[in-house]
Structure 1
């Protein structure tokens, strides 16, 4: 497939709150668009109308699962059954020409972290999709998980790592924050480890430091109990400019997750030359190596001490940014795969 050919994309992600999965889809579309690809992004009536990286084609009257599983494949068949790129875990099951990026298998390993309805749906549809689709994922960790779970051939799964979607010039000068502060970015899902972070932060020797937690809740996730104190700031609705500003102004980025397929806030923290403290997960070691500091978030005493130590250490991160983790490189890899 040459760059001047049309790429058809499942645009359901433009109707959802922006978490790491949706940011991956946006970043891939942006990179493909900048490489000269013609993108036909198929969307429902509730899509983000400001997205500018491709032609937005509004189809159907439904939204959500009905739109994706009924109206989307029906429209594609009328258009001659083009190859469909699905960047967010799921694709229309009755359609036969799917490329799917499955980010992780958390819903299989820990269904208790998700709503019963969401867990049932993903655990039902994904095994059926992997048998009839071309697959990709975002890390070697997730690739191994897919191979082991579904008895797949490793070489048949493409690894397309995340990148940073925004640039350093995109920031909001008017954002109001109480400095100094530590920053955590993640949805309000139990797997994000925010409860453990709050416990460790409360015990840490950081008397004049605030903790900003950026991310929203979702009916798809089991909830976490919020602890509201003067030093813990919950920020749920935020645009890219404000998020960039929070990254720029923080002293440390913390990623306390128990399970991830990638760990995008770590990459974004490194992009802004910040010290990063993360739970010691295999996927983080694979992707970020010695660029960040590791802790055990399940041990509150250890986590608290490590949080204090990294805060008071030299916060100028001089470790080179991992340039191999970029949407530009992942888009090139995808195009090469499609050409072959």
Structure 2
């Protein structure tokens, strides 16, 4: 009997990466999908990050990174009867079928300035072939589906929408961070398309009566260029990467949350903030209007003065903050990982039926 026992195989390369939005999607979908579909997660050898997913994990091969994904993984799968492969973290083996791949967005196309040249060149070669070889392409929003269809000419009939959601650690009461002063929170890696330069300029120029500090959470991957440079004022603090428990505490303690990004396939951080009752200021761009609806204070991300005015409104208008908190909590409840996993299960059933035929 094969080690896979007829299960759907999950491409487990994401277990070697620290958790960002893509990896969170993969982990939460696997946890919710495991009771619905027989799964085996196949991952590279060596240390894994947060591998307690409720599914069997098999480690194979001797390579790592893209080499493992393109060589070791498909070789192992073909020797194991060529089971259906489910990739939830953007990439997959270009010459393997049957396969379902999740491709979250095309930020690297729309904002190449955020990415190293080597990264862009790799994706230019890799992604078109992966999308062509996949029986279905999962993405996280209608916006991303339209972007992928337009840029890569993927038929819309091949695309399936599976939204992100809020993980359990960002739901319900808990401790609230005490910064010593009221603060505006921002969460993301400081890549250029995240627009932190505009946020820093807007905060610096804002006339504030309540908020006293901007707190920014997130680390920067090697493949990206920083948007933040120079000496920071005393009222701006970078915390770097923090764990989920500390991040939830920071959300709860914040007067408001700012998300000035120029481009998002979905945007998990504002949804996390909303789930914990924090009012959200967001850029009217990309997928965000569809994800957040009327639950955020909208600003033009390319207009520093408009961002400044938005920060000043949230600072001064307590009633607005209360109303946005209420709307935000209702909005966050529209999404759940269990519902998204059921959508993935439906996609798996589709592809299995086609494979049998």
Q: Same fold (TM over 0.5)?
A: yes
Q: Deviations over 1:259-306 (max 9, x none)?
A: 110111111111112211111114111122101111012221221111
C-alpha root-mean-square deviation of aligned residues, in Å? 2.1
1:303 equivalent to 2:307? Answer yes
Q: Is the 8 A contact 1:7 1:37 kept in 2?
A: yes
**1:234 counterpart = 2:238:** yes
Pick the aligned partner of 1:285 from 285, 289, 294: 289
Give the 3-state SS of the residue equivalent to 1:221 in structure 2. coil
Counterpart mapping for 1:201-216 below 5 A:
201-206=203-208, 209-216=212-219
Q: 1:151 Cα deviation (Å)?
A: 2.1
Match of residue 13 from structure 2 = 12
Distance 1:239-1:261 versus aligned 2 partners, 3 A rule: same
| Corresponding residue SS for 2:293 | helix
Give TM-score scaled by structure 2 length: 0.88
1:324 equivalent to 2:321? Answer no
Instruction: String of CA shifts for 1:20-62, please: whole Å, max 9, x gaps.
Output: 11111112112213x4444311222131155343222222222
Which runs of 5 or more structure 2 residues have no equivalent in the other structure?
351-357
Tell me the equivalent position of 1:166: 168
In the TM superposition, residue 179 of structure 1 has moved relative to its aligned partner by 3.4
Question: Match of 1:183, SS?
Answer: strand
After TM superposition, the structure 1 stretch with the greater mean CA deviation from structure 2, 88-97 or 114-123, is 88-97
Alpha-carbon separation, structure 1, partners of 2:225 and 2:240: 16
- For residue 216 of structure 1, report the CA deviation from its aligned partner: 0.8
Structure 2 equivalent of residue 220 of structure 1: 223
Between stretches 54-63 and 87-96, larger displacement belongs to: 54-63
- Do residues 335 (structure 1) and 345 (structure 2) align? yes
TM-score by length of 1: 0.92
Partner of 2:28: 27
Checking the alignment, whether the CA contact within 8 Å between 1:211 and 1:231 is kept in structure 2 is yes
Structure 1's consecutive aligned runs of 4 or more residues displaced over 4 angstroms after TM superposition are 168-176
Query: Residue 354 of structure 2 aligns with which residue?
Result: none
1:256 and 2:260 are equivalent in the alignment: yes
In the aligned structure 2, how far is the partner of 1:50 from the partner of 1:154? 33
Distance in 1 (alpha carbons) for counterparts of 2:88 and 2:148: 16
Partner of 1:106: 107
CA deviation vs aligned residue, 1:134-163 (integer Å, no higher than 9, x gap): 211000011011111122221220000001
Secondary structure in structure 2 of the residue aligned to 1:136: strand
Q: 5+ residue gaps in structure 1?
A: none
- After superposition, the Cα gap between the structure-2 partners of 1:225 and 1:282, relative to the gap in structure 1 and judged at 3 Å, is closer
